[in-house]
Structure 1
Amino acid sequence: MGFYDFTATRNDGSTQSLADYRGKVVLVVNTASKCGFTPQYKGLQALYESHGPRGLEILAFPCDQFGHQEPGTDAEIAAFCEKNFGVTFPLFAKIEVNGPRAHPLYAWLKAEKGGLLTSGIKWNFTKFLLDREGRVRGRFPPTTTPAALAKEVEALL
């Protein structure tokens, strides 16, 4: 099983094959609207605007497993991201990233790149960077800003 074998539900309810991102550099992020790291949406959008034309995709997966910081519906999340941050990169339906109901993509990502102590996601805005072949090349904690990832992204583009 690899990145391109997964599907995920988009924020609008449609099904997205991740194979559609073949040949792209992909940044996968679990997000939340009421988190101290929520302003990173602005940095993610800036990274998307500056590097998207060269092949970067950012895939945001809202998650409510950390401090109930993503209580909204998928429609509310989309409206919040567009209104407050002008988000144009793909937003997916709210998922779980840890535990028995974790989305299969996240089970795979964590197996590919574990964390410091355990493979579990510790908080919102954990980031996984994948190369053009769909291989996980890095895992970054919430404290790593999108701007700090620019060099890693450029190296893969």
Structure 2
Amino acid sequence: MGTDAHVAKSCTGEQDFYGLILERIDGRPMRLARYWGQVLLVVNVASRSPLATTQLRELQSLHERYNEVGLKVMGFPCNDFGGMEPWDDGRIQDHYERTLGLSFTLFSKVSIAREPRHPLFAMLARAAEVPRDVGGVPPHARLAREPATTAGSQGPVHDNFEKFLVGRDGRLLHRFGPEIPPQAPQVLTALEQALGVARNGLSAAAASVGPSSLLPSPA
């Protein structure tokens, strides 16, 4: 698992961040370490949400635009908020991929607001320094090390389409509320800065040095 300085415990205390094993929408397991060194945009999605039409389309656009320079859009269907994702994984996959034409990575339906809570979202919420950073103010909490543990910093997810931006080094960079669409200016700026392809002319390679060297490559 690595040295203590690089361990981020999940809510169960059994796994580090990159050691989490996720289940893709088709049932295949995937260790999060596969995305080590990439920028992650983690979103809890719901197809019947009033936000779905616009935000799913914008998430797909981000995937098409930035996937090759290191952005991994990760969609996690969830029915906890208003019962807006009632289908099983098979029907969800068919709707998202065939009907809507989405190609960013989808994962199996998760529980976020009720037990057992998905460990990834538990860790993301714990890492936020403020209860709910709807404006995208960066908390800069490090998931790849020990997350915040005080009660006031838990920051539970409150609704569909919350967005967590994790940097190449496992740092939680920004958290955006549902009311902020994926292609809002502040989201694009944060993404491009994390990727090293910001409008200031940095190349993608610039993002692969510096902070990312703080973590050892997972085995």
TM bin (shorter chain): over 0.9
Residue 191 of structure 2, aligned match among 146, 153, 156? 153
Moved more, 111-120 or 135-144: 111-120
Alpha-carbon contact 2:163-2:177 (below 8 Å) kept = yes
Q: Hey, what's the Cα distance between the residues in 1 that align with 2:43 and 2:131?
A: 15
Q: Residue deviations 1:4-51, cap 9 Å, x none?
A: 121111101111100000111000000001001112110000011011
Structure number with higher relative contact order (C-alpha < 8 Å, ≥ 6 residues apart): 1
Shift of 1:115: 2.7
Shift of 1:84: 3.8
Q: Hey, what's the Cα distance between the residues in 2 that align with 1:115 and 1:43?
A: 26
Structure with larger Rg: 2
Identity of aligned residues (%): 37
Aligned match of 1:143: 179
TM-score under structure 1 normalisation? 0.95
Aligned match of 1:87: 102
Query: Is 1:131 equivalent to 2:167 in the alignment?
Result: yes
Q: Which runs of 4 or more aligned residues in structure 1 lie more than 4 Å from their structure 2 counterparts after TM superposition?
A: none
Moved more, 109-118 or 23-32: 109-118
Q: Residue deviations 1:90-126, cap 9 Å, x none?
A: 1000011123311011110000014338611110000
Q: Hey, what's the Cα distance between the residues in 2 that align with 1:13 and 1:110?
A: 25
The 5-angstrom pairing of residues 2-151 of structure 1 reads 2-39=16-53, 40-113=55-128, 114-116=130-132, 119-148=155-184, 149-151=187-189
Shift of 1:86: 1.6
Q: Hey, what's the Cα distance between the residues in 1 that align with 2:158 and 2:180?
A: 13
Alpha-carbon contact 2:163-2:178 (below 8 Å) kept = yes
Gaps of at least 5 residues in structure 1 are none
Alpha-carbon contact 1:63-1:70 (below 8 Å) kept = yes
Q: Hey, what's the Cα distance between the residues in 2 that align with 1:77 and 1:115?
A: 30
Q: Which amino acid aligns with 2:156?
A: G
Gaps of at least 5 residues in structure 2 are 1-7, 9-15, 133-151, 196-219
Match of 1:128, SS state, is strand
Alpha-carbon contact 1:48-1:56 (below 8 Å) kept = yes
